[in-house]
Amino acid sequence: MKKLNLIILFQLCFAGLFAQNKITLNTDQARTIISKHIYGHFAEHLGRCIYDGLYVGTGNANIPNTGGVRNDVIKALKDLKIPNLRWPGGCFADTYHWKDGIGPKNERKAIENLSWGNVREDNSFGTDEFLNMCELLGAEPYLAVNMNSGTVQEAVEWVQYTNHANRTSYLTDLREKNGRSTPWKVKYWGIGNESWDCGGNMTADYYINLYKQYATAMTSYSNTEGLFRIAVGPGTPDYTWTETVMKNVPLKRLEGISIHHYSVINWAHKGSSFQFSDQEYFTTMQQAWRIEELITKNSEVMDRYDAEKKVALIVDEWGGWYETDPGGTQLYQQNTMRDAMIAGLTLNIFNNHADRVRMANLAQIVNVLQSVILTNKEKLLLTPTYHVMEMYKVHQDATLIPLQITSNSFVKGENKIQAVSASASKDATGKVHISLTNIDNVNGQEIEIGIPGSKASHVTGRILTSLKIQDHNTFDNPTNVIPQVYKNAVVSKGILKVSMPPGSVIVLELTD
Ligand code: AHR
């Protein structure tokens, strides 16, 4: 009898626990577009990101390429609908002189990469190669200007070289001589990178004066070229930096402000990318959730100076950062289901803040930090993070459906964080998509989603999950973790019920 009571009690608690996961979609409040640029990426001259990862050179007979860019990478990124790519750094951008990377390759200056390993950089991948690659990918380029060791004049000339009409100056003559007559029309320009650290160790007050000089000189007086100028924001909860920018830079000289956030356990002990404990996993998830507060508090500051939300908040570096894998090149790390959890959770947060967050760039695209692609000579694998971004691409440029969520907690010892996160959108054809992430790697979740007024009678979906949160793809087994068809959801009379396994990401599509 005692045993039976215990079982019933357990079942009740379990049921009670399950009943906590409730989501309501406010379809009547769907107004804001989720910019596709939230799904952007970042490529830096670091480790094997550019060379080997994206670019293998035109003379490479072993790896099929187009103008030196790997064909397998091009295909994978086009399948992802990559909307933009930030380049050339990161800290590398803070000492990069773009003129070193143009013209005949045998005449380009070799430089030392002062940010990443002091290796020789032959500059064979430069402005033309990057912008042509973006065209191949159908992605908008996002250039980071060197405001540390560079000059205002260099930035002004970079804009002219890339954007101005033919024959307007020696710079556009140079562009033509280098094989490109029509301008690329680069819209996104980051003015500096981490100016509080590798970008010059500046104070906010010093930075804003310099920013204004660059932002004014790079455009004509009224910015008829439509440049989207992005100021450096904080990489920590330093909201006074944001306040200094917002208060002092006229809104006509500022289109975006960037923040950085890495999910790192501890900078002194970052832990292995694929052999980690449950505690390390939990701490990574706590760090990933911090982006919610960083976005909310930065947005509050921005709202005070820009109530109409004209200036975008841009998270142009984000992702998990662990120790470099043994034997790996700089910042090379494996990518496991833990990273899929960071991606699913973070992208839900970005979507839900789409009114202010209008661009983000995962760090970094290939072979560095939380990559979507890893390469090894002629081999390539798609990581769990790739699969999450691919599943979530349905949200690109769709209309956000705001939601309310009550979720169970993911508990570790005395600490707890929200287990389930979600975001939803309606696309141009009227289909509703809901993305769900359960970061609890021990407990599954039963979720009830109310969609008042919905006539949906049909639900399909895909799921990314695996037995262990450490699971990942390898070059010998590249399909160990891949999305599967998901059938455990039912919808009827405006109520959708979903069963989520531990550590899983699900994207559902609802139709009438
Ligand atoms: O993404 C790696 C580095 O992290 C970037 O170069 C820098 O901007 C940040 O600190």
pLDDT number for residue 60 = 87
User: Domain end: 339, 365, 397, which one?
Assistant: 397
In terms of domains, do 197 and 154 share one? yes
Total domains in the fold of the chain: 2
- Tell me the torsion sign for CA atoms 123, 126, 128, 130: positive
pLDDT number for residue 61 = 86
Instruction: Give the integer Cα–Cα distance in Å for 175 and 186.
Output: 14
Closest CA to 82 of 485, 359, 412, 431: 359
pLDDT number for residue 4 = 38
Domain that holds residue 162: 36-260+293-397
Q: What angle do CA 342, 242, 185 make, to 5 degrees?
A: 75
Cα radius of gyration rounded to whole Å, the chain: 23
Kindly state if the Cβ of 292 falls inside 6 Å of ligand 1. Answer: no
Question: Residue of the nearest CA to atom 9 in ligand 1?
Answer: 90
* CA 7 to ligand 1 centroid distance, Å: 52
Q: Count other Cβ atoms within 10 Å, centred on residue 135.
A: 11
* CA 91 to ligand 1 centroid distance, Å: 6
In terms of domains, do 393 and 468 share one? no
Instruction: Give the integer Cα–Cα distance in Å for 141 and 183.
Output: 13
pLDDT number for residue 47 = 98
Closest CA to 329 of 504, 119, 499: 119
Domain annotation covers residue 280: no
Atom of ligand 1 nearest to the CA of 364: 1
Instruction: Give the integer Cα–Cα distance in Å for 210 and 495.
Output: 54
Instruction: Give the integer Cα–Cα distance in Å for 135 and 151.
Output: 28
In terms of domains, do 447 and 374 share one? no
* CA 46 to ligand 1 centroid distance, Å: 9
In terms of domains, do 49 and 179 share one? yes
In terms of domains, do 330 and 425 share one? no
H/E element, 217:
helix 204-217
Instruction: Give the integer Cα–Cα distance in Å for 109 and 182.
Output: 25
Instruction: Give the integer Cα–Cα distance in Å for 481 and 423.
Output: 23
Give the pLDDT confidence of 426-467 residue by residue, as tens digits.
999 999 999 999 999 999 999 999 999 999 999 999 999 999
* CA 290 to ligand 1 centroid distance, Å: 18
Check if the beta carbon of residue 349 is closer than 8 Å to that of residue 287.
Answer: no
Q: Tell me: cis bond preceding 141? Omega within 30 of 0 counts.
A: no
Kindly state if the Cβ of 316 falls inside 6 Å of ligand 1. Answer: no
Question: Residue of the nearest CA to atom 3 in ligand 1?
Answer: 90
User: Domain end: 366, 397, 428, which one?
Assistant: 397
Domain annotation covers residue 273: no
Check if the beta carbon of residue 90 is closer than 8 Å to that of residue 147.
Answer: no
> CB within 8 A of 491, min separation 6: which ones?
454, 456, 457, 458, 459, 497, 510
In terms of domains, do 186 and 230 share one? yes
Residue 126: give its domain's CATH number. Answer: 3.20.20.80
Q: Is 136 left (phi over 0), alpha (psi -120 to 50) or beta?
A: alpha
* CA 203 to ligand 1 centroid distance, Å: 19
For residue 434, what are its two tokens? 């809901």
Check if the beta carbon of residue 225 is closer than 8 Å to that of residue 156.
Answer: no
Question: Residue of the nearest CA to atom 8 in ligand 1?
Answer: 90
For residue 347, what are its two tokens? 């992208």
3-state secondary structure of 275: coil
In terms of domains, do 114 and 156 share one? yes
Closest CA to 393 of 39, 98, 141: 39
Kindly state if the Cβ of 68 falls inside 6 Å of ligand 1. Answer: no
In terms of domains, do 42 and 9 share one? no
Question: Residue of the nearest CA to atom 7 in ligand 1?
Answer: 90
CA distances from 487 to 71, 431, 509 (A): 34, 18, 11
In terms of domains, do 474 and 380 share one? no
Kindly state if the Cβ of 91 falls inside 6 Å of ligand 1. Answer: yes
Kindly state if the Cβ of 90 falls inside 6 Å of ligand 1. Answer: yes
Instruction: Give the integer Cα–Cα distance in Å for 133 and 87.
Output: 12
Domain annotation covers residue 286: no
Q: Is the pTM of this model over 0.85?
A: yes
Atom of ligand 1 nearest to the CA of 42: 1
Mutate to test the pocket of ligand 1, among 41, 42, 44 (most ligand atoms within 8 A of CB): 44
Atom of ligand 1 nearest to the CA of 235: 10
pLDDT number for residue 12 = 39
Catalytic residue among 44, 121, 129, 194: 194
CA dihedral 120, 124, 258, 217 (to 10 degrees): 110
Q: Running DSSP on this structure, what letter comes out for residue 51?
A: B
* CA 43 to ligand 1 centroid distance, Å: 10
Instruction: Give the integer Cα–Cα distance in Å for 326 and 310.
Output: 45
Domain annotation covers residue 283: no
In terms of domains, do 111 and 59 share one? yes
Catalytic residue among 280, 292, 317, 390: 317
Atom of ligand 1 nearest to the CA of 115: 6
Residue 486: give its domain's CATH number. Answer: 2.60.40.1180
Closest CA to 493 of 453, 434, 461: 453
Is 135 annotated as catalytic? no
Domain annotation covers residue 267: no
pLDDT number for residue 10 = 43
Residue 438, phi then psi, degrees to nearest 5: -110, 105
Domain annotation covers residue 266: no
User: Domain end: 376, 397, 418, which one?
Assistant: 397
pLDDT number for residue 11 = 40
Closest CA to 399 of 370, 369, 423, 368: 423
pLDDT number for residue 16 = 41
Kindly state if the Cβ of 121 falls inside 6 Å of ligand 1. Answer: no
Residue 105, phi then psi, degrees to nearest 5: -65, -35
Instruction: Give the integer Cα–Cα distance in Å for 113 and 454.
Output: 56
Give the pLDDT confidence of 338-384 residue by residue, as tens digits.
999 999 999 999 999 999 999 999 999 999 999 999 999 999 999 99
Check if the beta carbon of residue 174 is closer than 8 Å to that of residue 102.
Answer: yes
Domain annotation covers residue 213: yes
Question: What are the residue ranges in the chain where pLDDT is below 50?
Answer: 1-19
In terms of domains, do 84 and 192 share one? yes
pLDDT number for residue 25 = 98
CA dihedral 77, 44, 267, 244 (to 10 degrees): -100
CA distances from 270 to 265, 274, 322, 325, 385 (A): 5, 12, 5, 11, 19
Check if the beta carbon of residue 357 is closer than 8 Å to that of residue 313.
Answer: yes
Closest CA to 29 of 328, 426, 388, 396: 426
Kindly state if the Cβ of 317 falls inside 6 Å of ligand 1. Answer: yes
In terms of domains, do 500 and 367 share one? no
Is 317 annotated as catalytic? yes
* CA 52 to ligand 1 centroid distance, Å: 19
